[in-house]
Amino acid sequence: MVRILKTVKGLSCYLQQRRCAPSVAGAEPLSVGLVPTMGNLHRGHQSLIDRARRENELVVVSIFINPIQFSAAEDLATYPQTPGEDLALCQQAGVDAIFLPTTAELYGSIDPDRQQITRVMPPPAMLTVLCGPHRPGHFEGVATVVTKLLSLVNPQRTYLGAKDAQQLAILRQVAADLKLPGELVACPTVRDWDGLALSSRNRYLSPEQRNQAAHLYQSLKAAQTLFKAGERHGHTLTAAVERHLGQVPTLTLEYVDLVHPHSLKVLDSVESIGLLGVAAYLGKTRLIDNVVLRNRKPIVAIDGPAGAGKSTVARQVAQRLNLIYLDSGAMYRAIAWKALDLGLDPADEVAMAELVQSCDLRLAATTDDPAWAAYPSRLWLNGQEVTELIRHPAVTERVSTVAAQPMVRQTLLNQQRQYGITGGVVMEGRDIGTQVFPEAELKIFLTASVEERARRRWSDLQVQQQPKGSLEELEQAIATRDYQDSTRRVAPLRKAEDALELNTDGVEIEAVVDQIVTWFQAKVGS
């Protein structure tokens, strides 16, 4: 049953109560995912809600038509409202609460002209491109309301659609600059059968306009085809969009811009990444869309439970495909090693949060230097090589406690993402396909039964002449680890929706690698 909350007090009371719901002494408060919307929910919103549902214990959807993000000439008065349908969609999607405030509740009622509202001003440079010059005041209104919602809800994660690329980039910057709580999660644009990006404003279109609206995406695809063929010049790519749309007389182009997707700086050419954004009118309806152009080598993400053989497989796949294997786990080991070195308690969340901020990590493949071939990756911490040091059993013992610290996770996640800018890597872990590289060309979920993994571990321990206990004890330990990994609050082990699952029970390593290479060639080409 969805709880509808119309007041700020009601919302904070509800969150306080529910967050601490598992009233077991010492239990962690529940994680909250926020989906901010203006209502009239469609499949695009639903994809945000579904993702929030998968990744959080509590899901809050806010429905608020924010007047201060509309200019006088815009459609505030007629913005579509479908409260009954919205409620049904939220109910079906398992939303816990809908925050449905009035304008007076959120902004106060004494100021009918809204001149006395405190506002959040995004970086002015980010307002000079795309929709910025055409919608004065819009992003200030968006930044203001989202800042307010984030400070009221204090979510672990906030879900936003990639269709509103400028909104996303601005909110990321505002959230970073104002140190707003939680992570902003960008979700892919959901499109109709003909490529039209879903939007509440699509319902303004007549059937004929609706048919023509797909040209927006087709024009971007035309530019993308040129890009894939090697074209990198900004003016040639934007001209391709203009040329396509020029053939649709009923469509009035407002802008087409090529910018960097994070800084929104205008690009003369695409070095590593570019965002091609377009806005056009069909009658009175204004539509926007964008595509991201990536000039990088492919990425392979391999996730799976402990003992499924990920690192051996990932290394061999990288060798076969001439990509670089990077062992993301080594980064967590480095923090655990440093904590040990400084005598810090790995379970001390604050100490670990401070420690990770002071660590500059550099990860490199071992393929260039045979002397390091025995190690999965080479690693430097603040300039010191720690490749061997981080393999010490005392580090192994502490690494999962360190890796479960939210701040460690968040900081290293950002660093790992840097390796994706140029691509050409195979990375394995628990959240590579879901969190680190959700845009990876190939995602593999490598599994094996508990019994098989216990058997492999048992033989490894035997070879290493280490104490191994009984097979049943090992099975029990692996099952417990699986449970902990998949239920932990920070970066739980999950199969990405578009990952290909490979069960390695009774399959030789070579066959597993062959299968992944075949999938790679089918998806990416050789």
* Site residues, ligand PAF (CB under 6 A): 36-38, 66, 69, 142, 145-146, 164, 167
Phi/psi for 22 (5° steps) reads -75, 60
Nearer to ligand PAF, 25 or 73 (CB): 73
How far is the CA of 107 from the CAs of 104, 141, 179, in angstroms?
5, 12, 22
Nearer to ligand PAF, 106 or 324 (CB): 106
Tokens, residue 114: 């809204």
Q: How far apart are CA 75 and CA 255, in angstroms?
A: 20
Non-local CB neighbours of 519 within 8 Å, separated by 6+ positions:
442, 444, 500
**Given the structure tokens 């407002």, which residue do they identify?**
254
DSSP letters along 402-467, please? HHT-HHHHHHHHHHHHHTTTT--EEEEESSIIIII-TT-SEEEEEE--HHHHHHHHHHHHHHTT--
* Residue 51 CB, nearest approach to ligand PAF (Å): 15
Nearer to ligand PAF, 69 or 202 (CB): 69
* Residue 278 CB, nearest approach to ligand PAF (Å): 18
Phi-psi region of 373 (alpha: psi -120 to 50; beta: other; left: phi over 0): alpha
Q: Is 45 a catalytic residue?
A: yes
* Residue 172 CB, nearest approach to ligand PAF (Å): 13
Q: How far apart are CA 266 and CA 269, in angstroms?
A: 9
Nearer to ligand PAF, 170 or 490 (CB): 170
Nearer to ligand PAF, 170 or 427 (CB): 170
* Residue 66 CB, nearest approach to ligand PAF (Å): 4
Nearer to ligand PAF, 47 or 167 (CB): 167
* Residue 39 CB, nearest approach to ligand PAF (Å): 9
Nearer to ligand PAF, 47 or 447 (CB): 47
Q: How far apart are CA 191 and CA 499, in angstroms?
A: 20
* Residue 140 CB, nearest approach to ligand PAF (Å): 12
Question: Is-contact 485 306, C-beta < 8 A?
Answer: yes
What single-letter DSSP state applies at residue 69?
A: G
* Residue 69 CB, nearest approach to ligand PAF (Å): 6
* Residue 33 CB, nearest approach to ligand PAF (Å): 14
Nearer to ligand PAF, 120 or 339 (CB): 120
Q: How far apart are CA 276 and CA 267, in angstroms?
A: 10
What single-letter DSSP state applies at residue 499?
A: P
Q: How far apart are CA 77 and CA 65, in angstroms?
A: 10
**Given the structure tokens 């449905």, which residue do they identify?**
100
Non-local CB neighbours of 200 within 8 Å, separated by 6+ positions:
38, 39, 40, 42, 79, 80
**Given the structure tokens 């992944």, which residue do they identify?**
516
Beta bridge partners of residue 427, listed in sequence order: 301, 326
Helix and strand tally (H, E) in the chain?
17, 17
Nearer to ligand PAF, 103 or 476 (CB): 103
* Residue 16 CB, nearest approach to ligand PAF (Å): 24
How far is the CA of 106 from the CAs of 10, 15, 333, in angstroms?
13, 17, 45
* Residue 171 CB, nearest approach to ligand PAF (Å): 7
Non-local CB neighbours of 325 within 8 Å, separated by 6+ positions:
314, 315, 317, 318, 319, 365, 367, 376, 377, 425, 426, 427
Active-site pick, 45, 138, 215, 244: 45
Q: State the greatest distance between any 2 C-alpha atoms of the chain, in Å, as a whole number.
A: 78
DSSP letters along 179-207, please? T-SSEEEEEPPPB-TTSPBP-GGGGGS-H
Tokens, residue 211: 């048919």
Nearest to 498 by CA among 47, 67, 7: 47
Dihedral Cα 238, 243, 249, 253, nearest 10 deg: 10
Nearer to ligand PAF, 197 or 425 (CB): 197
Q: Could you give the residue numbers annotated as active site?
A: 45
